[in-house]
Chain A
Amino acid sequence: GAVVSQHPSWVICKSGTSVKIECRSLDFQATTMFWYRQFPKQSLMLMATSNEGSKATYEQGVEKDKFLINHASLTLSTLTVTSAHPEDSSFYICSASFGGRYSGNTIYFGEGSWLTVV
């Protein structure tokens, strides 16, 4: 079964509104989570690294005031797209890893969230 769960899977929102996407680690505590964005038929681009109890680290070119990330607990990180516009429409995927050495099989991806801004 899934070890990282995202919610919602699909969301449609009006332009100018904000939408929140949740990423939860199930059965383990994730000190670090990652948010990726994927445009249709393109690769995944890392947006930010979410660290529990501290500010997220954003990749170059990602607007931190637009994509708010909150990692308030060891099992939950949220991505809020503020004042969404149609160009924000995309597939957003989170991943979570737990403590110790990161050998790849300890990095789990969520199912992804489709955001459509109309």
Chain B
Amino acid sequence: GNSVTQMEGPVTLSEEAFLTINCTYTATGYPSLFWYVQYPGEGLQLLLKATKADDKGSNKGFEATYRKETTSFHLEKGSVQVSDSAVYFCALLYNQGGKLIFGQGTELSVKP
């Protein structure tokens, strides 16, 4: 079946460090891939997305490339800030119905 696997957290980094959060997926067909961010006590916000292989999604310094050959969509940021502390969810959309399948989430904590 369709699934998403993320690296386990929590991930703790110092400010300005490089961030990678791994995400791999299993899906039939050609899903769209997303990263969502959830700040403490809040709902989800779309961070970035990619709809086909080799697409790169980017937003607020974060980026992720849809790699079909490795079924991956790793999230990266060159220099994290304290304000980036949140939980990050990788997700896939496997049909056009709007249902998202989420990874387990990775908590990021950035220390000053």
Contacts and interface: CB of A to CB of B under 8 A. Distances in A.
Interface of A: 6, 32, 34, 41-46, 49, 93, 95, 97, 101-105, 107, 109-112
Given A42-B104, A43-B103, A97 B98 contact: yes
Contacts of A46: 99-101
Contacts of A43: 89, 102-105
Question: When A and B form their complex, which 4 residue pairs have the shortest distance between CB atoms, in order from nearest?
Answer: A97-B98, A104-B49, A109-B44, A111-B43
Interface in B45-80: 45-46, 49, 51
B93 interface: yes
6 contacts: A46-B101, A93-B44, A102-B98, A104-B32, A104-B46, A110-B43
Interface of B: 32, 34, 36, 42-46, 49, 51, 89, 93, 96-105, 107
A104 B105 contact: no
A8 to B, nearest CB: 14
Contacts, number: 61
A104 B45 CA distance: 11
Contacts of A101: 96
Residue among A42, A97, A101, A110 with most chain B CB within 10 A: A97
A32 B96 contact: no
Contacts of B45: 109
Nearest to A32: B98
Given A44-B102, A95-B98, A105 B43 contact: no
A102 B97 contact: yes
Contacts of B102: 43-45
Contacts of A95: 44, 98, 100
A95 B100 CA distance: 10
Contacts of B104: 42-43
B65 to A, nearest CB: 16
Nearest to B96: A102
B49 A105 contact: yes
A94 B51 CA distance: 22
Nearest to B90: A43
